A and B are shown apart, each in its own frame.
Chain A
Amino acid sequence: MALQSLDIIRRSATTLPEPQARGAHTGQVAKLIDVTKCIGCKACQVACMEWNDLRDEIGTCTGHYDNPHDLSDQSWTLMRFAEYENPKGDLEWLIRKDGCMHCADPGCLKACPSPGAIVQYANGIVDFHEENCIGCGYCITGCPFNIPRISKKDHKAYKCTLCSDRVAVGLEPACVKTCPTGAIVFGTKEDMQQHAAERIEDLKSRGFEQAGLYDPEGVGGTHVMYVLHHADQPQLYSGLPEKPKISAMVGLWKGVGKPLGLFAILATAAVGFLHYLRVGRNETDERDEEAARRELEKTP
């Protein structure tokens, strides 16, 4: 995170605007991952480890190429390998670089209960500020892409920062810098959409009729986008969700639930107070004691 941020457009668990004098007047950023150009070399994974100084535990081979086999607090990006037999009977190796999608409408931020633990910068990057993280894991509950991971060591949530520290000083993310095939590119979202359109045209001319851009509307679009050969079947790419959106249950819980809940409690207390004002306490007086005494005397 930056030392001082004057470009925060959204902040978790916060009801008033944050310092946002600095805008993204030249356009928000985006990373475009061209899955059709990826050779699965994992250089981006290594670059991510290097730049962010992360070292995951040495794992074990689970019989496929995914290594490590899941994202973790130490692995913020991961190549996921899927073997797909297309209708023609040919094998296709669909390799997708998984990691935070930097949603325009981030479910993690919506679910987060801790003020300022998750922010969205004017340039579109969604960043976790771990010093404010309380470790509840609501971000995982809110995320439609199953991205954040809680560290077993410090119980804080971690994920890809889109190298917000590099981007803030005009550098591209580490994975982009390192990719040997140019499958990962970075720029303004508009430029990336244009670049993707050219790539898709090229792919279509080569017989990939369904080639397309993955920039899902359900989360307001994302600042990490994919060019897919089979944009009609994103789930082929190790379960990339077809129509991701913030779950309706998270929406209720973190949407209308919050004001409605507080209102219900205050209203209940207010009704009690009004009742007190109108009818007052129900007291036991000397006549009641007398009546009780009479009944007691009757009993031998």
Chain B
Amino acid sequence: MNVERKSGEIVRYEFSTRLNHWIVAISFILLALSGLALFHPALFWLTTLFGGGPWTRILHPFLGLVMVLAFAFLAVKLWRYNVLEPRDRQWLRQIDDVLDNREENLPDVGRYNAGQKLLFYAIVLCLLGLFASGIVMWRAYFAFPVEVIRFASLLHAVCALVLICAIVVHIYAAIWVKGSMRAMTRGTVSPGWAWKHHRAWFREVEGIERK
């Protein structure tokens, strides 16, 4: 990715990546709200946000297509930074240090840490499951044998719940690690942030600069 420095800041996400991410994020929020509305009676009132039950049922699958497509672009763009490396194992072993903010004890981290990478794959798997099962459940346009639909319904719920929990963690991490949110909104991080949380990536950025 095109990494350059402007006014001392380090660019982490260019505009197209940020836009892509927020299309995914907004469609995800709408999907979670409309999906949960149909998942549990206690949340059926959420259908009001979408114009009632039938509209919720109509819109949900189309939103799903938007998210899957948008995420596919994002995943292709970010895949190479999420490939697991040997040093990720050490990071995971020291998860206590991670959770207690003792980052100085951790091995140097590249563009993404092991947690972010695992989250990335969790999203990929869940979305594959959601996409396949969602198509099977989409009665307005597809007809599958009822046994397949039953399995798909269960799978869809399981994948959705795992994804929602994963994204809760993702959002919390973005709040927890101060300075991250700016990476996805304005696109830049401070050198100190990069040095502290992603030192190997920070040095790589310098290396690119030196040439």
Contacts and interface: CB of A to CB of B under 8 A. Distances in A.
A234 interface: no
Contacts of A280: 101
A233 interface: no
A279 B202 CA distance: 25
A28 interface: no
Contact of B100 (A279, A284, A286): A279
A238 interface: no
A282 B178 contact: yes
A262 B38 CA distance: 12
A250 B193 contact: no
B206 interface: yes
B192 A285 contact: yes
Contact of A299 (B100, B161, B169, B210): B210
A292 B99 contact: no
B139 A288 contact: no
Interface residues of A, number: 51
A291 to B, nearest CB: 6
Nearest to B147: A247
Given A113-B39, A289-B192, A299 B206 contact: yes
A77 B56 CA distance: 31
Contacts of B44: 13, 113-115
A136 to B, nearest CB: 5
B165 A265 contact: yes
B157 A253 contact: yes
Interface residues on B, range: 35 or more
Interface stretch (B86-94, B114-122, B148-156): B148-156
A262 B172 contact: no
Secondary structure at chain A's binding surface: helix, strand, loop or mixed?
Answer: helix
A210 interface: no
Given A265-B164, A281-B176, A283-B178, A134 B146 contact: no
Nearest to B210: A299
Interface string B197-211: 100001100100110
A182 interface: no
B175 interface: yes
Interface of B: 37-44, 47, 52-54, 56-57, 99-101, 103, 137, 139-140, 146-147, 149-151, 153-154, 157-158, 161, 164-165, 168-169, 172, 175-179, 190-197, 202-203, 206, 209-210
20 contacts: A15-B41, A113-B37, A113-B39, A113-B41, A140-B149, A141-B146, A141-B150, A141-B153, A253-B154, A272-B172, A279-B100, A279-B101, A280-B101, A282-B178, A283-B178, A288-B195, A288-B196, A292-B195, A295-B202, A299-B210
Interface of A: 13-15, 113-115, 132, 134-138, 140-141, 146, 150, 155, 247, 249-250, 252-253, 257-258, 261-262, 264-265, 268-269, 272, 275-276, 279-286, 288-293, 295-296, 299-300
Given A136-B139, A272-B168, 20 more contacts: A113-B37, A115-B41, A134-B57, A138-B153, A155-B54, A249-B153, A250-B154, A252-B154, A257-B157, A265-B168, A268-B169, A272-B169, A275-B99, A276-B175, A279-B101, A284-B178, A284-B190, A288-B192, A296-B206, A299-B206
